[in-house]
Amino acid sequence: MRRLVVIILLAVTLTACSAAADTSSTVPALNTSPGSTEPSHQPLWVTVKYRADPVDIASPAFEYLNTLGSSVVGGAWYDADYGYMVILLNRTYFHYCRMPQSAWSAFSTAASYGTFYNASIKGRYDCRGGGVPDY
């Protein structure tokens, strides 16, 4: 059962990634509600380790980083308004707080996401000191 959930999450992530890369099509997670100009989305709630409530990583608040080539990082999502990052490592979502935009920019352009994560993110930006946003 756990393996099935992981496969479904990967399929959803890959679908979102391929749709995001194709600018000629509409991203399935984003649309406009009838009679509204406000964008809506299909939520993708994930359980984040050491966080009390789930996070909707499909929210427009998050910038998604496609890490498909990485053997360590399964995906990363960053909310610049709060300096909040969610990262998928070995089928577990973790979060980091008060992470500056400069760190996210460096991470998103790193030659190796795993190497950069271990050297520059892991052990820093601890959410126990505060900064966990309410979504």
124 is written with which tokens?
């820093």
- Name the DSSP class of 129: G
User: What is the rounded CA–CA span in Å between residue 134 and residue 132?
Assistant: 7
pTM more than 0.85: no
| pLDDT at residue 21 tops 80 | no
Ranges of beta strands (E only) in the chain are 30-32, 39-41, 45-46, 55-56, 63-65, 73-79, 84-89, 92-96
The whole-number pLDDT of residue 41 equals 78
Which stretch of 15-29, 48-62, 108-122 has the lowest confidence by average pLDDT? 15-29
Per-residue confidence at 19, pLDDT binned at 50, 70, 90?
very low
Per-residue confidence at 1, pLDDT binned at 50, 70, 90?
low
**Three-point CA angle 63, 48, 85, nearest 5°:** 30
Element (H, E) at 104: helix 101-108
Answer for the pair 77, 63: CB distance below 8 angstroms, yes or no.
yes
User: Quick one: average pLDDT of 95-114?
Assistant: 98
Task: Enumerate the domain spans of the chain.
Answer: 43-129
Mean pLDDT of the chain: 82
